[in-house]
């Protein structure tokens, strides 16, 4: 048959569907002849359903599937079925071949639509008897009263009322919110001058109305999920709400291209939508909302130093979606009146205006506060910097004992690199055009008296205000698996969603921190999908230099295949032998594509759980477990587990979102009773690194099996564009712990090390207290500065051992050692007096088992008591006393770490602290001639001897007229025995690189003398190195075979010459890389084991030393002003007067500490007998 048969599927809109006659329609199971169904008032239409999409074979809106998901919303015997596309196109207008039966449903087959065409995406509804339409399974509360009619005069508005579902375990059927039309009051007649291109002016003359036009729309939330209850507003007037399918219908809107609607929904940013120009009677809008982005600070106000009468500006930059609409400024925590802009300008400053200033921004997307900025106001005649330098002691060789200090330390002075008031123009800026710091104004050369010789040094005599040293901050490190250290090879590193770097083959990375960065948030993404995408907040040194971080990643859980049309439960828990902590329940038909279409195929579900009951997972925790409170403060969270979800279609691997998903936390895992009522579900914002609340969890009892009844904390969430979630509680019992790091166990103030990453794991207390005894709760890291670091920690005043912490320190991959606690505590070494030390229960990690590494300590974080005077001076400070902790003097109590000291000794004529780039001084004799461009040079020397030998490099000016014959510095290092050859050792000896001096006008080829200590003979010089030196004159005399002299090469030669050169913005990193290559004997590799036969420049054979003879070092100190050739002759005269070597044990050493053993040859120089 070739004719057409028409059937009415909808009653109210008289929508017709045309199908071929052989594909007849049926309006019921018993009636097929009637083409039209008339309603007699005892029937009503259901809501629209869309449970399938036209992918695969076609679109199947089958009644059984609809009943499975919407169990009570369709009657047993529908009278009729109506269909339309999701774009509101009636099925008759699509021209597609379709099938329908009220007892079966509606379906469309792709294969019947002709070539290159598929079915549309259809929604259906059914006509059901009123008395059989709904069988409510859950109970609604009472409706609220109708809201006041918002309509103005002459307008039609919508009154609203709402109700609450009284069940937490099953959904209530029906709308949460209802609306009804209402008319506004009559308007007084007035002239209207509004010109309407379409329609006519409204009664209040504020918009145009087109009575014969209908606007249909569909609203989707973040992730493409249906947006029920979205409000549609025009000129501040509520027009309608989206229904449970996200659809809305508005009559009378003019499609003139000038009408703007505002769409709002909780948790989403408002969206302004322009109704496009259209001449048809029906217009269709598809609206996609975005998640509300909480406020976050992009730039904090900058601290400033000014003089009386000058001006200062403080600025804060805050972002969010929507952006903030209100700013407030506080001075010493007091609100400043009449200051409502993002910029605060203070003119004609007075000294009493000095203090702390901070900004508070607020808006629809939250509240946030900036960090305080300090304003220092100097009197008109007051010194900006104290001209008197502070004491700074350097360690001198063992034969240079100083009677003035009764020690081996000499005071060379230093100027603290604090901001000062320099020469400013009249411009008022957020950031000063030039930064001024206190620095060295004058230096004098002094002679350090030693046994039989004098050692030159430069001493600071005056400080002054000058331009700050241009510094840059870097981070570098490795990205590895938390379980076995497997590197993440060639992974992406993202910042604000933009790729800024990649990891190397060994997982290494290096990144320059952008100059305006306040909070460094990076996301590490594995292209191979082995590891979970991980977001980290990495501390960096704002004073410049490079910080090393080892990034630990969780391995992604193998996916399980589940059906999207069935109910699924996933259990999370990684500790063997213990119950699962969390369950995730996914209802049927909950999965959506990113376009918002229902997904009905198989799903590969990978959910990776970070189990806090396993302490080893603490380092793999994402972000820094902070959130922004209601008042805008940054507050800490305590975790009960994190999970990362990855849902993908089995066939095409497309990422999927999920609608209402239920999360159940076993309450038996929450031992702290007050946490039960404050537990919340959070998601991580990967751009800010802050956690944002997704919802609360409610207590509910459920049966598990036939008999066992368990109590769970249950919450609902939607899995959209964010894939990392956290079960946390806010914690308000907070303190700070003071920690310092040192170069050695001498714990001298001048030997503090900056740039050390100190980490603290908040552990749960022992059994019997109110918290979970098996897990960790929080992980924090900070960077040590010139005055140590203050670590945040949870603490308790009433129960001193209710909270415990595990503290460790790392510098460039080297683990620092804590002070020992066994066989007994030494308060003077630990840095904390008794009886507070006993109360804190200090224990080094090897306290119980000496085989354990010594690189951490644990304490009970006992909050200091106000009634105990000995507890008011650290090392634990109350949360409100952070400033007191940061500014604590060295004599105040603190915990200590120290580096594993080796057998090397460094001496610079111009002192420089490699941890603090700001300590660099302009001087021709500076070891590093250019700040932020540090060039490290090493020469590899092989020693044939049964002993390990000390070698020295003596570095003097060679060709520059300002420095020729003057000492740059000394480097002493002991050789490392070859593990495979007992009579062979090797050493990587640092020397000063040739190159431009600080004025950048002329190069100097450093005169380097390599001197082994003892009776040694030079056997061999690398052929390629010798050829290079011969071809690059001048060539120093090298007749003395017990040493080697060269003018250091200008070129970075590489392992074929036995010379290793690396340039970096951080001196420690440059030395670390160069040492790793030198140990390995290659130009691009790295090793922690010395390979004595690879990439060697010099070879010496050494015998026993004569201990009665004078050292080369002692004799040569008197010849610093002689010319290059005379230096060589001087070495020849002392050829046979070397000290004897003593046998040493072989050992493995790190590239940062070639000695590999503490306590032997500390700060070693070649001692005079």
pLDDT confidence of residue 711: 64
Instruction: Please write the tens of the pLDDT for every residue from 609-630.
Output: 888 888 888 888 888 888 888 8
Beta 1003-1004 vs 602-610: how paired, if at all? unpaired
β-partners of residue 594 are none
- Which tokens go with 1146? 């072989």
Q: With pLDDT > 90 as the criterion, what percentage of the chain qualifies?
A: 26
**Cβ pair 564, 601 in contact under 8 A:** yes
SS3 state at 474: strand
Average pLDDT over residues 1015-1029: 93
CA–CA distance, 306 with 672 (Å, rounded to integer): 50
CA–CA distance, 639 with 762 (Å, rounded to integer): 10
Beta 498-502 vs 568-572: how paired, if at all? unpaired
* Count of alpha carbons within 13 angstroms of residue 319, beta-carbon side: 6
Q: Both ends of the chain: CA-CA distance in Å? A: 119
1126 contact partners, CB below 8 Å, separation of at least 6: 1119
Q: Please state the φ and ψ torsions of residue 1129, each to the nearest 5 degrees.
A: -65, -35
Q: Please state the φ and ψ torsions of residue 632, each to the nearest 5 degrees.
A: 95, 5
Residue 21's pLDDT band (cuts 50, 70, 90): very low
pLDDT confidence of residue 314: 93
Q: What is the DSSP letter of 187?
A: P
828 contact partners, CB below 8 Å, separation of at least 6: none
pLDDT confidence of residue 671: 65
Average pLDDT over residues 827-840: 90
Residue 830's pLDDT band (cuts 50, 70, 90): very high
Beta 304-307 vs 373-378: how paired, if at all? parallel
Tell me which residue has tokens 């415990």: 804
CA–CA distance, 598 with 123 (Å, rounded to integer): 12
Q: For residue 17, is pLDDT > 50?
A: no
Question: What DSSP line would sit under 744-807, residue for residue?
Answer: STT--GGGB-SS-EEEEEEE---TTSSS-TT-EEEEEEEE-BTTBEEEEEE-BSSSTTSSEEEE
Residue 1119's pLDDT band (cuts 50, 70, 90): very low
CA nearest to 738, candidates 797, 809, 788 = 788
- CA torsion sign for 227, 230, 233, 236 is negative
Q: For residue 680, is pLDDT > 80?
A: yes
Average pLDDT over residues 1027-1054: 89
pLDDT confidence of residue 1167: 30
Cis status, amide bond into 265, omega within 30 of 0: no
Residue 1111's pLDDT band (cuts 50, 70, 90): very low
Where do the H-state alpha helices sit in 413-523? none
887 contact partners, CB below 8 Å, separation of at least 6: 787
Between 1119 and 175, the more confident residue is 175
Residue 702's pLDDT band (cuts 50, 70, 90): low
Q: What is the DSSP letter of 617?
A: G
CA–CA distance, 825 with 804 (Å, rounded to integer): 18
Lowest mean per-residue pLDDT among 601-605, 827-831, 869-873: 869-873
Average pLDDT over residues 646-671: 84
pLDDT confidence of residue 1169: 24
Residue 279's pLDDT band (cuts 50, 70, 90): confident
**Cβ pair 733, 861 in contact under 8 A:** no
Instruction: Please write the tens of the pLDDT for every residue from 739-765.
Output: 999 988 889 888 888 889 999 988 765
Query: How long a stretch of residues is the chain?
Result: 1169
Q: Which 3-state string (H, E, C) describes 255-284?
A: CCCCCEEEEECCCECCEEEECCCCCCCEEE
Q: What is the CA radius of gyration of the chain?
A: 38
Which value, to the nearest 10 degrees, does the dihedral of the CA atoms of residues 637, 639, 644, 645 take? -100
Residue 45's pLDDT band (cuts 50, 70, 90): confident
pLDDT confidence of residue 1134: 35
CA nearest to 1042, candidates 967, 1120, 956, 1139 = 1139
Average pLDDT, the chain: 81
CA–CA distance, 68 with 52 (Å, rounded to integer): 13
Q: For residue 935, is pLDDT > 50?
A: yes
- With b meaning 16 or more CB within 10 Å and e meaning fewer, what string describes 746-775? bbeebbbbbbbbbbbbbbbbeeebebbebb
CA–CA distance, 845 with 568 (Å, rounded to integer): 44
Burial group, residue 516, by CB count within 10 angstroms (0-12, 13-18, 19+): exposed
Nearest-5° Cα angle at 595, 591 to 599:
30
β-partners of residue 44 are 128
Average pLDDT over residues 510-535: 90
Average pLDDT over residues 573-578: 78
Residue 421's pLDDT band (cuts 50, 70, 90): confident
Between 329 and 1123, the more confident residue is 329
Give the containing element (helix H, strand E) for 1031.
Answer: helix 1023-1031
pLDDT confidence of residue 193: 76
């Amino acid at each position: 048959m070739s004719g057409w048969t028409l059937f009415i599927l909808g009653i109210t809109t008289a929508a017709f569907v045309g199908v071929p006659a052989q594909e007849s329609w049926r309006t019921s199971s018993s009636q097929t002849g009637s083409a039209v169904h008339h309603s007699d008032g005892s029937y009503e239409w259901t809501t629209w359903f869309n449970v399938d999409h036209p992918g695969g074979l076609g679109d199947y809106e089958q009644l059984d599937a609809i009943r499975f998901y919407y169990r009570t919303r369709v009657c047993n015997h529908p009278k009729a079925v109506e269909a339309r596309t999701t774009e509101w196109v009636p099925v008759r207008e699509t021209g597609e071949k379709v099938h329908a039966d009220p007892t079966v449903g509606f379906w469309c087959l792709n294969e019947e639509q002709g070539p290159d065409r598929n079915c549309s995406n259809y929604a259906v509804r059914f006509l059901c008897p009123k008395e059989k339409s709904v069988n409510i399974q859950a109970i609604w509360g009472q409706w609220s009263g109708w809201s006041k009619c918002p309509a103005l005069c002459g307008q039609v508005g919508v009154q609203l009322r709402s109700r609450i579902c009284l069940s937490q375990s099953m959904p209530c059927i029906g709308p949460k919110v209802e609306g009804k039309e209402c008319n506004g009051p009559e308007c007084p007649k007035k002239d209207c001058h509004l010109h309407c291109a379409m329609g006519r002016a409204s009664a209040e003359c504020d918009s145009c109305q087109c009575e014969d036009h209908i606007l249909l729309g569909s609203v989707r939330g973040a992730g493409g999920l249906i947006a029920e209850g979205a409000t549609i507003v025009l000129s501040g007037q509520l027009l309608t709400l989206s229904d449970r399918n996200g659809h809305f219908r508005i009559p009378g809107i003019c499609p003139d291209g000038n009408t703007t609607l505002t769409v709002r929904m909780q948790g989403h940013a408002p969206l302004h939508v322009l109704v496009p120009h259209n001449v048809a009677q029906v217009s269709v809008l598809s609206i996609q909302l975005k998640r509300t982005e909480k406020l976050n600070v992009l730039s904090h106000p900058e601290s400033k130093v000014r003089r009386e009468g000058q001006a200062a500006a403080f600025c804060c930059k805050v972002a969010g979606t929507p952006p903030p609409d209100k700013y407030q400024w506080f001075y010493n925590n007091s609100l400043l009146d009449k200051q409502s802009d993002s910029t605060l300008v203070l003119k004609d400053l007075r000294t009493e205006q000095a203090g702390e200033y901070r900004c508070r921004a607020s808006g629809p997307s939250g509240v946030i506060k900036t960090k305080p900025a300090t304003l220092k106001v100097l009197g008109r005649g007051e010194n900006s910097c104290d001209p008197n330098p502070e004491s700074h002691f350097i360690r001198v060789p063992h034969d240079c004992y100083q009677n003035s200090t009764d020690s081996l330390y000499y005071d060379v002075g230093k100027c603290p690199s604090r901001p000062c008031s320099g020469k400013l123009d009249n411009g008022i800026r957020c950031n000063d055009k030039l930064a001024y710091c206190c620095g060295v104004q004058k230096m004098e050369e002094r002679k350090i008296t030693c046994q039989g010789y004098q050692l030159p040094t430069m001493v600071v005599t005056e400080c002054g205000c000058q331009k700050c040293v241009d510094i840059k901050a870097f981070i570098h490190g490795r990205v590895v698996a938390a379980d076995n250290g497997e590197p993440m090879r060639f992974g992406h590193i993202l910042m604000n969603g933009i790729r800024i770097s990649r990891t190397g083959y060994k997982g290494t990375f290096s990144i320059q921190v952008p100059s305006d960065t306040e909070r460094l948030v990076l996301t590490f993404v594995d292209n191979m999908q082995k590891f979970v995408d991980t977001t980290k907040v990495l501390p960096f040194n704002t004073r410049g230099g490079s910080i090393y971080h080892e990034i630990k990643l969780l391995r992604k859980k193998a996916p399980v295949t589940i059906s999207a049309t069935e109910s699924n439960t996933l259990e999370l828990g990684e500790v063997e032998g213990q119950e699962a902590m969390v369950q995730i329940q996914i209802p049927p038909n909950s999965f959506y594509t990113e376009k918002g279409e229902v997904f009905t195929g198989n799903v590969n579900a990978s959910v990776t759980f970070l189990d806090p009951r396993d302490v080893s997972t603490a380092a793999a925790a994402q972000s820094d477990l902070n959130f922004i409170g209601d008042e805008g403060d940054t507050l800490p969270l305590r975790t009960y587990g994190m999970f990362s979800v990855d849902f993908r279609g089995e066939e095409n691997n497309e990422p999927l979102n999920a609608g209402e998903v239920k999360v159940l936390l076993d309450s038996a895992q929450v031992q702290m009773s007050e946490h039960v009522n404050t537990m919340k579900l959070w998601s991580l914002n990967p751009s800010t690194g802050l956690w944002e609340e997704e919802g609360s969890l409610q207590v509910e009892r459920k049966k598990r099996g036939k008999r066992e009844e368990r109590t769970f904390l249950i919450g609902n969430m939607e899995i959209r564009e964010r894939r990392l979630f956290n079960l946390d509680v806010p914690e308000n019992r907070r303190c700070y712990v003071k920690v310092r790091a040192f170069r050695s166990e001498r714990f001298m103030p001048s030997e503090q090390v900056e740039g050390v990453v100190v980490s603290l794991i908040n552990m749960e207390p022992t059994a019997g207290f109110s918290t979970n005894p098996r897990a960790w709760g929080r992980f924090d890291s900070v960077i040590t500065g010139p005055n140590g670091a203050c670590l945040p920690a949870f603490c308790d005043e009433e129960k001193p051992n209710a909270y415990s912490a595990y503290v460790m320190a790392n510098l460039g991959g080297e683990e620092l050692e804590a002070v020992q606690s066994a066989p007994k505590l030494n308060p003077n070494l630990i840095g904390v007096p008794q009886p507070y030390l006993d109360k804190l229960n200090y224990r080094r990690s090897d306290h119980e088992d000496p085989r354990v590494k010594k690189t951490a300590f644990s304490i009970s974080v006992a909050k200091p008591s106000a009634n105990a005077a000995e507890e008011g001076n650290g090392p634990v400070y109350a949360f409100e006393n952070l400033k007191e902790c940061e500014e604590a003097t060295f004599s105040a109590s603190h915990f200590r770490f120290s580096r594993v000291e080796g057998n090397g000794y460094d001496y610079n004529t111009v002192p420089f602290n490699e941890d603090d780039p700001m300590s660099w001084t302009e001087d021709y004799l500076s070891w590093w001639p250019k700040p932020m461009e540090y060039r490290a040079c090493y020469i590899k020397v092989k020693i044939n001897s049964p002993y390990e030998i000390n070698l020295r490099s003596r570095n003097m000016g060679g060709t520059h007229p300002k420095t020729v014959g003057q000492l740059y510095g000394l480097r002493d290092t002991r050789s490392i025995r070859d593990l495979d050859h007992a009579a062979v050792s090797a050493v990587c000896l640092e020397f000063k690189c040739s190159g431009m001096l600080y004025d950048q006008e002329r190069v100097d080829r450093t005169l380097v003398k390599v001197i082994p200590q003892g009776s040694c003979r030079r056997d061999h010089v690398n052929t390629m190195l010798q050829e290079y030196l011969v071809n690059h004159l001048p060539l120093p005399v090298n007749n003395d075979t017990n040493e080697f002299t060269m003018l250091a090469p200008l070129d970075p030669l590489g392992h074929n010459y036995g010379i290793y050169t690396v340039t970096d913005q951080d001196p420690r990193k440059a030395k670390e890389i160069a040492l790793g290559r030198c140990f390995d004997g290659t130009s691009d590799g790295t090793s922690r084991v010395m390979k004595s036969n690879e990439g060697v420049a010099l070879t010496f054979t050494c015998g026993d030393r004569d201990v009665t003879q004078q050292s080369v070092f002692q004799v040569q100190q008197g010849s610093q002003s002689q010319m290059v050739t005379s230096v060589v002759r001087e070495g020849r005269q002392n050829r046979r007067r070397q000290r004897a070597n003593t046998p040493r044990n072989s050992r493995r050493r790190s590239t940062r500490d070639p000695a590999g053993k503490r306590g032997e040859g500390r700060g070693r120089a070649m001692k005079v007998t």
